[in-house]
Structure 1
Amino acid sequence: MTNKPPEYCPHCGGELAAVDPPTVHRCEDCEEFAFYNPTPAARVAVVDGDELLLCEVGVPGVADTWETPGGRLEADEDPPVAAARELREETGLTVDPGALELFDARSYESVPDQYTTRLCYAVDRAATGGQLQAGAEPDGVRFWSAAAFADSGMALSDRQPAATRDLSWWLEGARATLDEA
């Protein structure tokens, strides 16, 4: 999957001029517009009491970094369906997409020049099935309390907005949404 700003016009191959960077560009030759939009992603906050399910980031050279299960939407895939798929692929847990409760949505630059619109869903552990086990991507999966995670020296991934790099943020937002549902 690519998610890079356009370098050339997708219509004629001409050079692009920035109109409203980083989103809108216009071809200097054919005058058509080229748009650069964020890639949609879905993440799942699985809450079990005062603990949150996290996946150890399986990226070479990145140690002691964790994030909630999730990933990019596939073409023609509804966000809750993508969230349920990613949860199953990364953790072995299954959930009915209808049981997921949206609790946060935001767009941000996940890595330089790559933008994401992330939809965060909450679900109680009791609403999931399957056996917890790391899938192909994460190095490990486990439930953490905010205190244990803080004491561990681990960190949440810096590929997400700074405001959401605190396990308490995830727990509080997910719990509040589940309590309202």
Structure 2
Amino acid sequence: MATIGGSPAVESLIETALRDRDHDGTIRWNAIATLHERGDLETFTAARRLCAGETAAERMLGVDVIGGLPFADRSLTLLRFMAAGEDDCMVLYSVLIAFGHLRDRRALSSVIALSEHTDPGVRYGAAYALPNIIGSPPDPAGLATLRRLTDDSDDDVADWARLGLALATGHEIEDLGEPEGRERVPGASAGGEVEDVRRQILDP
């Protein structure tokens, strides 16, 4: 495991999260939520070190923690670096969810690039992130990417992209029903409009 550093409290929470092998596991996300509540530089530093970990589980945890901390400038620099260089699809998925949580338009180019990834889970993460970072008025390139994703071969990706496009353009949202596959974005709480409009359609 990566050398984390930090107080025993932070180290204990990280070790607890890593012991839960289920990415969506309650124990894992309870530990992450507690780290988010701390919201301090010590927690960010420990998470940043995890992002350089040898295992995908470490890097994914680091990203999931960073996505909920109030250090947008530092977080975006790190996450954009990982978006360009990471090979593991689940880590890339977490990077995209973190982009969505941070709601910063500066992530747009990274998300657009990953929207063309061969893995549908990564494209799903891009479809989730885009409506949160597309800005107001919506960025034309971001809108074009959402429109392209509405025709994605993966139904979950296309469904989320249609929702995001509807929110971004103010169009009425058709009743898409619940997806059978990726039923939610693990650990996500989509900010702003995405959280307010028909959460039952594609509840993260």
Using structure 2 for the length normalisation, give the TM-score. Answer: 0.28
Which of 1 and 2 has greater Rg?
1
Q: When you count strand as a share of all residues, which structure comes out higher?
A: 1
Compute the TM-score of the two structures, normalised by the length of structure 1: 0.30
Structure number with the higher helix fraction is 2
